Chain A
Amino acid sequence: MTAIENMQAADPELDIERALERRQKMLAIAVPLGTAASLILLWQIGVRLFAVPTYIAPAPTDVAYTLVDKFPILLANFWPTLYESVLGFVVGNIAAVLIAVAFVHSRTVERAFFPIAVFVNTIPILAIAPILVLIFGPGLTAKVVIAALICFFPTLVNMVRGLQAVSPQALELARILSASKSEVFWKIRLPSSLPFLFSALKIAATTSVIGAIVGEWVGADMGLGALIIDATFNFNSPLLYATVFMSSGLSVLMFATVSIVERLVVRW
């Protein structure tokens, strides 16, 4: 204990350096937080000053009040959307990874199906959502399929690139070791594709939420998307804003989860 104190006392320069570093870190957090707080304050003042009706634009305090007051309703609608998003995320990404593997193994398969994948990707998700609801009905399936569809393409493209991003020398090494095709895949191709996969998963983490909400718009009686439609038609702006806030929270939650998993898995 005393030894540590002595060391710190013996090196005042290091102390100053540390203090500066701490200040830098504080600033890095304080600046964006301060900016956001000021903007919210500006919004509050603007709404009150110009007496904007609540149904057009609610004040932040109204939204905050609703967020607390209607929290049970918001939460009850949060879970179905979370469920659909996660399910869509899992299904869409697994499909994309499997198809990417097929593409990398066979040029013919890639030639046959890649243009179709591109075509499907060019259809706006809002345009295809009603079709999917017609096919799969108003239940869970349609939302999961929409969320999966929106995740699918970025992951497919990134995964194909990742599986092909193996250095020629690593492949020569594999050949000298007489590695089989499956050994090359499991020991070299798949691990080296992981950084690419995670870039795609981070995109999919937020887009899957968009997919689920769009699905709920088209036809659902539960979920954040349904609540958004409901609040809009009832001119319940504070509830609408609170729901939007919850949706964004869901996206952040998904994104953070994927980022943490990435940090644990991709350590190089």
Chain B
Amino acid sequence: MPSIVETQATPDGTPTGPIAASLKDASVKFGSFTAIRGMSIDIEEGAFYTILGPSGCGKSTMLRLVSDLIPTASGDVSIFGKSTEEARLAREFAFVFQDATLLPWRSALKNVELPLEIGRRRGIKLPIGNKTPRELLKLVGLEGREDALPHELSGGMRQRVAIARALVCQPKLLLMDEPFGALDEMTRDHLNLQLLKIWEETGVTILFVTHSIPEAVFLGQKVMMLQAHPGRLREVVDIDLPSPRTIEQRDTQEFVQYSAYLRKLLETC
């Protein structure tokens, strides 16, 4: 069943449903450079957020902040009510990089199993997913390629292995940093549809950074538009397109209007 959370927006626009991640006046500094200033947003559980913005607006920085790769300079970030570090140790979230970042000496299956091998001996409690690594590879359409080494797979296939690896600990929040940015149009369309299917099947909350306006509209229930210099939140646009999304929807009047609106907004960021 699609696990789309009914948005019951309060008058000031903040959601009242369960919150996956929450940024409160969060700032990030690299030395004297302010990458993100005073960002506040509540991420609704189960929703698909896409993140757009010009270069240098802190899209990737925001994901890195949420995933505990970089610290806040001020403000507060919490994930399911925990600190980012606690959430990291509990494997509440997973990350998919632009580059698949597979270990080249491990087969597809072994790469998916990696998160299950790490931390086990130190007694870190791993949330074992209800799907085995083999089933996850099947879910991303790589049945029969379990034993292939990364160099024997195409770019799109490698990225699908990376997605399967991200899902293996059954994360509640999936952070994706331009995962399909390096792929060709056809592969990208295919993976977009597959990702939507996975999202509906698992009910995971997704934060998805992209450069592509059509991709942002196609995937997102909500598009976060960020502004540069310094990076901050400009606007959250609700995308009210019928679900499940289809490739054909891209030619509809509504889709084109959303794209046009976002393009204009992006020009002013």
What is the interface of chain A, defined by CB distance below 8 A to chain B? 167, 169-170, 172-180, 183, 187-188, 191-192, 194, 266-268
29 contacts between A and B (CB under 8 A): A167-B99, A169-B97, A169-B101, A170-B103, A173-B101, A174-B118, A175-B69, A176-B68, A176-B69, A176-B94, A177-B91, A177-B115, A178-B88, A178-B89, A178-B91, A178-B118, A179-B119, A180-B119, A180-B122, A183-B118, A183-B119, A187-B103, A188-B103, A191-B103, A192-B105, A194-B105, A266-B105, A268-B104, A268-B150
Residue of A177, A187, A191, A192 most packed against chain B (CB within 10 A): A177
User: Is there a chain A Cβ closer than 8 Å to B170's Cβ?
Assistant: no
User: Is there a chain A Cβ closer than 8 Å to B182's Cβ?
Assistant: no
Cβ–Cβ < 8 Å partners of B256 in chain A = none
Cβ–Cβ < 8 Å partners of A267 in chain B = 105, 149
Min C-beta distance of A263 to chain B, whole Å: 14
> Contact between B69 and A268 (Cβ–Cβ < 8 Å)?
no
Nearest chain B residue, comparing its CB with the CB of A172: B69
> Contact between B69 and A178 (Cβ–Cβ < 8 Å)?
no
- Give the distance in Å from the alpha carbon of A174 to the alpha carbon of B149 in the complex: 20
> Contact between A191 and B117 (Cβ–Cβ < 8 Å)?
no
Point out the residue from A172, A177, A266 that lies within 8 Å of B119, measured CB to CB. A177
- Give the distance in Å from the alpha carbon of A167 to the alpha carbon of B95 in the complex: 16
Given contacts A179-B119, A266-B105, 15 further A-B contacts (CB under 8 A): A167-B99, A167-B101, A172-B95, A172-B101, A173-B95, A173-B101, A176-B69, A176-B93, A177-B115, A178-B118, A178-B119, A178-B124, A183-B119, A192-B104, A268-B105
Min C-beta distance of A267 to chain B, whole Å: 7
Min C-beta distance of B247 to chain A, whole Å: 30
> Contact between B117 and A187 (Cβ–Cβ < 8 Å)?
yes
Tell me which residues from 148 to 162 in chain B have a Cβ below 8 Å from any Cβ of chain A. Answer: 149-151
Min C-beta distance of B123 to chain A, whole Å: 12
Cβ–Cβ < 8 Å partners of B150 in chain A = 268
Cβ–Cβ < 8 Å partners of A192 in chain B = 103-105
User: Is there a chain A Cβ closer than 8 Å to B67's Cβ?
Assistant: yes
- Listed from nearest, the 4 A-B pairs whose CB atoms lie closest are A268-B104, A169-B101, A177-B118, A179-B118
Point out the residue from A167, A187, A268 that lies within 8 Å of B151, measured CB to CB. A268
Judged by DSSP, the binding face of B is loop
How would residues 54 to 95 of chain B score, 1 for a CB under 8 Å from any chain A CB and 0 otherwise?
A: 000000000000011100000000000000000011010111
Nearest chain A residue, comparing its CB with the CB of B104: A268
Cβ–Cβ < 8 Å partners of A172 in chain B = 69, 95, 97, 101
User: Contacts A172-B69, A172-B97, A268-B151 given: A177-B114 contact, CB under 8 Å?
Assistant: yes
> Contact between B104 and A187 (Cβ–Cβ < 8 Å)?
no
- Give the distance in Å from the alpha carbon of A37 to the alpha carbon of B68 in the complex: 66
Nearest chain A residue, comparing its CB with the CB of B64: A172
- Give the distance in Å from the alpha carbon of A179 to the alpha carbon of B91 in the complex: 12
- Give the distance in Å from the alpha carbon of A178 to the alpha carbon of B115 in the complex: 9
Nearest chain B residue, comparing its CB with the CB of A184: B118
Min C-beta distance of B108 to chain A, whole Å: 12
- Give the distance in Å from the alpha carbon of A169 to the alpha carbon of B64 in the complex: 12
Point out the residue from A169, A187, A268 that lies within 8 Å of B114, measured CB to CB. A187
> Contact between B88 and A191 (Cβ–Cβ < 8 Å)?
no
Cβ–Cβ < 8 Å partners of B118 in chain A = 174, 177-179, 183, 187
- Give the distance in Å from the alpha carbon of A176 to the alpha carbon of B67 in the complex: 7
Min C-beta distance of B197 to chain A, whole Å: 24
Cβ–Cβ < 8 Å partners of B89 in chain A = 178
